[in-house]
Every structure is written in C-alpha cells, then in structure tokens.
Chain A
Amino acid sequence: MLKTLIDAFALISTWEVIIAMFAASVYGLVIGSLPGLSATMATALLVPVTFYLSPIAAIATIVAASSMAIFSGDIPGALLRIPGTPASAAYADEAYAMTRKGQAELALGAGVWFSAVGGIAGVLSLMILAPPLAEIALSFSTFEYFWLALLGLMCATLVARSSPVKAIAGMFLGLLVSCIGIENPGGVPRFTFGITDLFGGIEPIPALVGVFAVAQVMRAMLTPEPPPLPRRKFGSIMAGQWKLTKKYHWQMTRGNIIGIIIGVLPGAGADMAAWVSYAMSKRFSKEPEKFGTGHVEGLVEAGASNNASIASGWVPSLLFGIPGDTIAAIAIGVLYMKGLNPGPTLFTEKASSMYAIYLMFIIANILMIPLGIAMIRVAAYILLAPRSTVMPIIMLCCAVGSFAIGNNMFGVVTVAAFGVIGYVMEANGYPVAAMVLGIVMGTMVEQAFVTSLIKSDGSILPFFERPVAAILAAMAIGALLWPVMVWVWRKVKPVQAAAATTR
C-alpha cells in the first residue's frame, strides 16, 4: 500500500506531468469560460495532444482540463448570465442575480471553493468505491457484463432531458455506428460498402470531436454573438467562503453525494448533477422564496455537485469501461490507447497508476483555487476575444487533431460527417450523449452479447440464471419499462382527476 503510494508519487513528480497538468489547467479554464465551448469539447480537442505524452501525463491533462472547465463555466454564467458550459446552466440565473446585487465576488468565490471541495469529495468516492467494486467485478462473466452495459445504456436514456424514445433511438444509432468495420465476431467486413477506410471502423474520438466541436461551430453560425463582458473590479474572492461552508455544510454534503451518485450512473454527467442538486436545494431549503433573487444556497449545492460528478464518473469507466459521462467516454479512449485497458484487474496490476490518478485529481482540485481566482480576475480580458477569432482556431484544431489520430485524412471526413449528424440530432431533440455512449460501448456490448449467446447455445435462459446477472437484468428491464409506466400513469391520472371533479 505505502509502496504503491510512493510509486504513484514518483510517477506524477516528473516535469512532463507537472507541465502538462499546469498547461491543461489553464487551457481548461480558458475554454470553459468561453460561452459555447463545453468541458467535453475541451477534453475532446485535447486527445490528439495526449498521443504524444506518456500515459500518466496524458491522463493528467484530461483530469486537469475537465475539472477546471466545469468550474470556469460558472464565470460567464455569473457575469453575463450565459453559462460557459452546460454544467453551469442550472444556476446561471441565480449567480447573475447575485452579481446584480453586487455580490459577484461571493458568487464566483462560492463557485471556486465549492467546486474544489466537490471535486475532492468525488475523488474520495472514487478511492473508496472502486477497489471493493473491482473485487466483485472480478467474478463477472459475459452475462453480467452484457446486462451491466445494457443498464448503462438505459441509464443514459432515462436521464436525458428529452423524449426517452428519441434517446433510445440515439443509443441504437451509436450502436449501429460501432457495427461498422471488420472487428466483429466473424471478422467479416460489415457495413463497409467496399470503402477500405471503413474496415477499421469508426474511431470514437473523431466522432466525439465532430459531435461536440464541429456541431458547436455550426450552431454558432446561426446564433447571435454574446454581448461583451463589462469590466469590473473585484474585491476579495475567498472572503466569506468559510462562513458559507459552515452555514451550508449540510447542503454542501448533499450536493457532493448527489453529484457522486449521478456521476457513477453511466451517461449522466455534470450538467445533470447540477440540475438535480439545484432543484433539491430549492425543494429542501428553509427559505425557498429567496431562490432566483440571488441566493447563494443553490449555488453552493449545485457547484459542489457538478464537480463531484467529474471524478466519480471515472468509477464505472475504470472498472468496466462503461463511461460515467461524456468526458469519461473520452478518457476511456485515451486509457485504451495508453495500454491502461479498463477492467477490474487494473486495480491489482497497475495499482500505482490508479493511485497516480487519485493524486492527480486531488492536486487538480487544490490547484483550482489559486488558478481559479487568477482566472476570475483576468476573465474580463479573455472574454473580450470575439467568437469570430475563437471558432476558426477551433476548426483548425478539429482538422489537425482528427488527422493526427491516425495520420490519415479519413479522420477529418469522420469529424465533418459527425458534425452534421450531431447538429441535426441536437436540432431535432435527439440527445447526442446517448449516441456517443452507444459508439463507445458498442463493441463491448456486442462482444458480451454474442459470447454469451455462443456459451448458452442460443438459449436466453442462462442470461437470467446467475444471481448477479438476474439482478442486473431486472434493473435494466425496469429502466426500459420506466418511461412506459410514467406514460401510463400520466394517461390515467387526468382521467381520475376529471372523475373527481365531476363527482
């Protein structure tokens, strides 16, 4: 244990890791603070750079950039009422109301402080949850993996803020994309239409860059430019945060726990955590009438929640290769590339690397406090950069980055195609996160499914015979039927209400 910890320290105390982490932090802060550029996009654009780094440095950049971007999305939310990342959208109105009351420092300070606390709580959950779960996961067979993957896909459709049918359709689309190529049980070219470039299948990373970055540039083409940030002098940012921590410690803890739970659920990430926590905070507050008028309580809870979900999203990713959110989906791609294939054995064979990940999360969240304060002070200058200078650079990074993944031009075509697909899906209410999950998990789902079918000789019964498999199956089927039950309930309820009024 102690030796692994020392090994982990040795792994992260190289110049490469330190510089990579620092640079990625600054990058994450800047991208996160620019409206329209999300934390997922920041992470996706980082991937080509991680090819050229050592495994630990590569993971360090992702950990640092994603944590920082989720916090710095609060900055334009509070100052402009335009959330920098979707994760800050839940409480942008509240934070802006505080700014108008002259409490911008308090709102932003709460953003930094409770983000850092939430992030550390998330790491603790990762450290505590992952090893015992790994023990259990070691005894999993393909049947359990199949149901687990299905449960993950179903969760993603349940939490989507749109029609569950469209979410399931999005998931199927993603699975269909993963069918392309010759990496299938028979080794035959499938859906390649004779195009040699498709033999290797669609790489998840260019698809992600397309869906999150190119689609965003496409949307920017049609939306008006956000207004520039008014310049202002800030007082002390951290003043009063300790008082808030003591006053709202229960809200903070609740936010952390909700964030951790939502992070662990596959497909649901920081934005969902923030929405749920903000709603919880309002529901259970002693002074709910103050919400919406610039009240810090909701900010504390939701800020603590969205950052907690970032680290806990790594739990299912590291254990099963099932991403906890879209950022973790990208991280899984990087883990595979760096030879740290997700799975329960990762915790026994590469224990020092795991400890290094924990340590990097903790360091990133501590680093967030000084860097975040500096960022708040210079934000007015960074937000002066007009969109018409940022978006062209993003375009270049998309082109060069997707080329760099395989050093071939087909990556660029993939990015362009998925940009269009992501844009059309989003415009019509199909959640892209569900499709992304399908693409990332497709190969694994198919392998588990087909291997199980071969083992059972085509019979369905063995899928339910092992106890853990049966429990997971019940949960997955329940998740599938849940929207149907809600739908029936909504149909029945108005009838009852009508009957009650006529009586």
Chain B
Amino acid sequence: MRLPDSVTGSFLVVLGAAAAYGGWILPPVPGQPVGPNVFPLVIGIGLALCGLAIVFGIGHSFEEEEELVPLEDGQVAAPPPQSKLYGLRALLPPALLLFYVAAADRLGFIITAAIMVYITATALGAKWKLALPLAALSPFAIHLIFGKLLRVPLPAGLLPTPW
C-alpha cells in the first residue's frame, strides 16, 4: 500500500478543501461572530496546505528510510510472494470485523467468532489441526470473560451458551 506522495498529498488537498467548504456552509450561531463553522474551516485550509506541500515534496528530506533488520546468517527468509492479490490480504481483518457487524446478531456471537478466528488463523498460516480447535475453544473463553464476568450483552443468536 505504498502510494506515491503526489497521490496522498492530492487526496489531502481534496479532503481539506471539502472540510473547509463543509465548515463554511454550516449555519452560524445568531448574534455571534464565531460558531461551529470556524474550526473546520481553519483545519480544512491547514490540511489542504499540508497536502500541497506534500505534493511538491517539501519536507521529504526529513524522512528516514525504514531500517530493515538484516537476518542472522543461516536463516534465509522466504521472499514474500509479490502478486497483486497478496497485498489484498491486509484487508482481511477489517473485512472480518464488518462481517461480525453484519452477522453477529443473526448467527450469534459464538458462531461468528469461530468463523473469524478460523479465517484469521488460516490466513496467518495455521494448519487446520491448530485452527479448528482454536476456533472451537477461543469464542467460549472470550464469551466467559466478556459475556459472563463483564456482562457485555453479546448476541446469543442460533447457539446460546450453556451458562
């Protein structure tokens, strides 16, 4: 997800301009010179200016390149596969969280959580022998801590817990 500075900078310019405009059109408080519109206006303009500076590469010389820790002799790391789909794996955790939002009420906490754990564990390279027991047990443990001890109303759904 390393984008060129011109892309992120332009995005900030657009966002800043939108925020400034959004602030500008807010209704003022009657009889007062300043209201809820001032702060977004200031921030939007500041953000847009920063975006412009980034597009033109100002301040780039301050950036330190990330130091890559060299590996020990004898250990050779497998080069990560560089296909386009590989980069998309990073989106898996937020996607699973959205899945939780969509499914938890219908399926219940235990089932949704088990699916989340299984997918995350497999994506990180666990074999099914490890991922399956983990997915079966960890939702109960979390439910015990949050649902039982801390009384968070977790949805029961299809599979109510025995307690």
Contact = CB atoms under 8 A, between A and B. Distances in A.
B111 interface: no
A483 B8 contact: no
A387 interface: yes
A222 B130 contact: no
A502 interface: no
Contacts of B125: 225, 386, 388
B12 interface: yes
Interface stretch (A211-219, A351-359, A363-371): A211-219
B26 A186 contact: yes
Contacts of B10: none
Given A396-B117, A398-B97, A162 B62 contact: yes
B50 A454 contact: no
B121 interface: yes
A222 B78 contact: no
Q: Interface on chain B toward A: helix, strand, loop, or mixed SS?
A: helix
B94 A224 contact: no
A278 interface: no
Contacts of A138: none
B58 A185 contact: no
Contact of B124 (A176, A388, A446): A388
Given A172-B16, A407-B152, A186 B28 contact: yes
Contacts of B64: 161-162
Contacts of A51: 150
B59 A164 contact: yes
Interface residues of B, number: 88
Contact of B36 (A184, A223, A389, A453): A184
Q: Interface on chain A toward B: helix, strand, loop, or mixed SS?
A: helix
A391 interface: yes
Interface in B51-97: 51, 53-54, 58-64, 69, 72, 75, 77-78, 80, 86-87, 89-97
- Interface size, A (range): 35 or more
B92 A221 contact: yes
B101 A169 contact: no
A212 B32 CA distance: 40
Contact of B101 (A223, A395, A409): A409
Nearest to A173: B47
Contact of A397 (B16, B33, B120, B142): B142
B86 A52 contact: no
Contacts of B131: 388
A162 B63 contact: yes
A222 B124 contact: no
A227 B28 CA distance: 59
Interface in B1-48: 1-3, 5, 8, 12, 15-16, 19, 22-23, 26-29, 32-40, 42-44, 46-47
28 contacts: A166-B63, A172-B46, A175-B43, A185-B35, A190-B22, A190-B26, A218-B91, A220-B124, A221-B89, A221-B90, A221-B123, A222-B87, A224-B77, A389-B126, A391-B124, A392-B121, A392-B124, A392-B134, A396-B139, A400-B142, A413-B98, A416-B94, A424-B1, A428-B3, A430-B8, A449-B38, A483-B59, A487-B62
